[in-house]
Each structure stands twice: as C-alpha cells, then as structure tokens.
Amino acid sequence: MTWVFAGDSVTQGAHHTYGGRCYPEIIAERVRWELRRVSDVVINSGVNGTNTKYLLENFEWYVSRFRPSVVSVMYGINDCQEMSITMALFAQNLTEIIRLVRNQNAIPVIHTPNGIDMKGMLLMKTASRSKLPEYVKVMEEIARQQQCILINHWDYWKNESPERTLSWLDDPLHPNVEGHVQMARLFFKAIDIFDENSFTCSGRK
C-alpha cells in the first residue's frame, strides 16, 4: 500500500518537533517496521501554512502522482483564519478532496486538527483561530455525510485535562513530539493497529 499524508505544518512536522518524529513518521515506523509491511510506502505531503484550497490546486503533485491506497487529510487550522475560505467553502473543498481521493480508488481518512491553547494564541503575533471549533464541526459533519474514517484529535484533546494537553504543545498552536505521539496513537486505534506494548504506540524511546 501507498499511504499519503496531506496537510499543513502539523502534518509536515515543521520545526516544532526539533528533529523528533511527527505523526506520519511514527505511523510509518509502526506500519513498515513493527508490522513488517516493508513494501508499504508512507509519503508525507504536508506543507507549512497551507489549506484545503492549496491542496485542491496542487492535488496531482501532492497526492495523485503517488497512486495512493490511503490518503490522510488534515486541514482547518489555516482555513479558519483565511477570510476567503468560509465554512461553506471549506465544506465544499473538503467534499471535493474526498471525491478526488476516491477517484484514485483510495481510502480517505479525515483528521480534525489537534487541540490548541486559545488563551496562549492571544499572546502570539499570528492570525486568530477563534473560528476553528466551528470548522471542526464542519469536518465532523462532512466525514459523517461522506462515510469517511474520522480521526477526531480535537475532541480527544478537549476531553483530556488542560494541564496534560498543554504539555503536548510546543507553542499554543503546534504539537511537540509528545503531541505527535498522541495523534499517532489515535490513528492506530481508529484503524485497529494499536498495541500498548508497541514502542510507537506508547511513545517510549
């Protein structure tokens, strides 16, 4: 199988892991090493600062040319602060991405973004993500309508204690290595390859 992970800076693992593995890399270790699926290929197509519009405009480059079996999609953090991407357009974009993935005879997997520190965001010199919870609801509804696998990081983080989830962030927006471990764990559970004794599932070094 060929697994493609499309998304923004969180998927790319840009900067905030400080050389540690991001969640697509943790998943690759679980699939290709621990499960001995050595012929599988895991491709990280995440690009810092991008959104659903960007992926649609560059779908051939970031997804189609790899002839994927599974396409993991995580957007929303940048869509929600882009004035031109209303919730209605976001829903339309996400639906179109799912259609294009299925046209590849691939399985779409939709991820909601990780939880963020809304109070901490006020101190950052960056665009507001105050609308992100509404965009998450759109993702949940589109995944339900389209009968897609949904990895709901947002709800998972929301249901943990604030002290714990803050320890999973490098800044108010981006997960650190431990945050990426938590995201990979949720993915493993959703596709039924979780094993508490596994190094990748437990996050043990």
The Cα 16–Cα 183 span in angstroms is 14
Query: Per CATH, which fold does 2-202 belong to?
Result: Rossmann fold (3.40.50)
Q: Where are the domains of the chain?
A: 2-202
* Pair of tokens at residue 30: 């679980």
Strands of the chain, DSSP E:
2-7, 41-44, 70-74, 107-111, 149-151
Q: What is the pLDDT of residues 144-190, one digit of tens each?
A: 999 999 999 999 999 999 999 999 999 999 999 999 999 999 999 99
Integer CA distances (angstroms), 179 to 10, 79, 113, 125, 167, in order: 10, 21, 11, 22, 8
* Pair of tokens at residue 178: 């431990």
Q: Coil, strand or helix: which one is 41? A: strand
Q: Which residues contact 146 (CB under 8 A, 6 or more apart)?
A: 95, 98, 108
- Per-residue model confidence (pLDDT) at position 203: 58
- Per-residue model confidence (pLDDT) at position 205: 41
Per-residue pLDDT of the chain (205 residues; tens, 9 = 90+): 999 999 999 999 999 999 999 999 999 999 999 999 999 999 999 999 999 999 999 999 999 999 999 999 999 999 999 999 999 999 999 999 999 999 999 999 999 999 999 888 887 767 789 999 999 999 999 999 999 999 999 999 999 999 999 999 999 999 999 999 999 999 999 999 999 888 787 754 4
- Per-residue model confidence (pLDDT) at position 187: 97
- Stated pTM of the model: 0.94
Q: Coil, strand or helix: which one is 149? A: strand
